[in-house]
Each structure stands twice: as structure tokens, then as C-alpha cells.
Chains A and B, each alone.
Chain A
Amino acid sequence: MTPKSTISGRHGEVAVAAEGLIKRFKTGRTTIEVLKGVDFDARHGDLTMVMGPSGSGKSTLIAALSGLLRPDEGKVAALDQPNLWKLSDGKIDRFRLEHCGFIFQGFNLFPALTALQQVTTVLGYQGAEKGEARQRAKAALEEVGLGPRMNQRPSELSGGEKQRVAIARCLAKNPQLLFADEPTSALDGENGQVVVRLLRRAATEHGAAVVCVTHDPRLEAWADRIIRIEDGRILEDQRRTPDPNATLSH
């Protein structure tokens, strides 16, 4: 195992916890309440799946947890920050830079950069030295199985490979919080399986708290915990034993 896994000692500790989250959106004259007082927590080393019907507020929830979207009410405690939303915008940026990784449905890679550059760019902003950034980026790309494709640009990569670059971009930061929103829905079964295994590994080996929003019930096999959300409320919170050797059949 790489030295990165030092924080795995925190397995089981709460990494992020939300209390009474309320988020409303105004559309025209009507206001809809998307999160209706959600209490939520996610632990280091867990792959926590958030599932629920479309429009139930899953994406809004992780946006509020990760410091991307300010909730109207409620509190988020994340890592050593007792109240994330009390921080200034600059400090929240800094918090995300240091601790958070994101994987989106789209891959959002700069067309001009090679896989390696995609990763080193972010590390550079984190303040890593050039040489160190390269080293970490290479290690991350090798971890996602893209060692040989390191110098390719997004246009030369398949969808699955692009998503793996996006994952490497997060993993290289060694984040303690990893948020994924439908990371597999643009991918076929095989590539989806590679991606979910990587998320699984980030939790198990790096001790990250991985929160993954998905529609796909087949991904449940890898989860430590499944949270079902409907209409802005948590319906069910179920702990289970993941099956790391599960396969995504079509």
C-alpha cells in the first residue's frame, strides 16, 4: 500500500455531518423546498450511497455538504470544521482545495491538457512543487490504470478513461471527502464497474469518506451504507457489508 493510506487510521470516524439542512429554491413566484430538514453523516472508510427518485434532492444534498451550495438553514460539520458554512467563501474554497474531491456525471476535462496535465494543474493550485506534482499525478493515474495513457488528451480517450482521469485528478489530492454525482451514468457497465471499484478503493485504502449519488441499484453491492432520500427527506439509512468482488451485469 502507498503511504497515502495513513489516514485510514480514522476508519469509522464521522467525516462530515449535517443537521437540519433546509434548502429552498425560488422559481418565479413559487418557492420549492428541496431539502426539508435533512440530518446526514458519512464516515471515513465508508462508501455511502445516496439513492432516490429524480428530483428528490440528492444532488442538492451533496452540494450543501461539500461547500458548493449554501443551505438556507442547518449546519454542516466537516472534518475539523465545526460549521463549514460559517467560513468565508475564500476559506470554503481553501477547504475544498485541501480536502474535497468531486466526480461528476460529465468529465469536465480541459481539451488542451493531457491526462497528466489535468492532474498536475490541480495539484499546482494546491501548492505542490512541479516535481512532486508530477510524481503524485503519475501515481494517481497509475492507480486508475491509465499509466500508459498519461500523455493523451481527452479527445483521444474513451468515456471510461476520461472518468478515470477525473477520478485520478481527485485522488491525487488525497481527499478525505470524495463526492460523486452519478459517476457511472454516462458509462457502460464495464466502465461503470471500474469507476465504482475505484470509489470503493478510495474509501477502503485511503480512508476517504465517499458519498456517491446514484440511480443505479446495481451499485448497491459495493456500498457500506445506503441512504434513501425522497422528496427532500431521508427515508431509510441502511448499513450493509460490501462485496468488493461484485460485478456489474447488464
Chain B
Amino acid sequence: MEIKDKIVPLLQEQFPETNFEVTDFRGDLKIKFDASLIVPVGNFLKQHDELKFNMCEDVTAVDWATKKKRFTIIYHIYSLENKFRLRLACDVEENHPHIESVVPVWKSANWYERETYDMYGIKFDNHPDLRRMYMPEEYEYYPLRKEYPLMGIPGDLTLPKK
């Protein structure tokens, strides 16, 4: 049995109450579930003897602009043992978008979550150091949100005096 077919049954067995939405697109597996479960699910995927998803490659988000659950947070994780890549997705609300930080599970998520916070304004609860990554710290906007204009808001970033 391939690793790909094992993941979902194992997850369902561990979290019987949860609804896992599975998408398989050209061999890439995506699993979508409730945002409150990200840490236990992540921890399970990492610690399980067979799955061993021990590497977090990226954390990012999607802004759907019109949906009620406006943002989808995406985690790319990789199992070095099985050479298999998996995508986790969780929807969050527009008002006060927040999700539990996965830094206790994968340390590498630290800066990825900071970047996602910087660009989308999603708060990662219990993150050890949630500061902006690229933009100046006192910056007020979140540039990758859909309502943010491409050329920025005039006067929001300062230039040195001539």
C-alpha cells in the first residue's frame, strides 16, 4: 500500500469526529479540515511512525476576497522518509483571522508564519516572535490582501530626505 493511500484512513482513525476534505490533483494530495485542529493533526502527521512528515516547507495563505471564510491558510509539509509531499489547508474568518501556530511542531514554520502575518495579517496564536518580516514594523497595511492597491497607498512608506 502506498503512503498516499494510508494518510487519510490513519487521520480519520485518529480524529473520528473530524471531516477531512481530500482533493487529489495530479498526484498532489490536499487535505482540508477545521482550523482549530491544525496543531494536533500536524503533530500526528509528524510523529506517526510510518508517515513522518518531518519537514515544513512553506506556510502561506490565499485571500478569496468574497467568501465568508475569507482566508485559506496553506501548509506544505514533506516526509523525507517517504519522499512524499502533502498540503494542509484551513479556512479562517475575515474578522480577526487567527490560527494556532505550528512552531511547536515544525520549528521552520517560524519565519513562514511571520511572512504570512506580514502579507495577510493573519495572527498566529502563541507564535514565539510574531513580528513583520519584510515591511517596516510600524506599517499598517497587509500588502497581499486583495483590497490593497498594487502601487501601495500614497505616503504609507517614507523615503529619506533628499
- Whether A associates with B in a native complex is no
Binding site for B on A (CB under 8 A): none
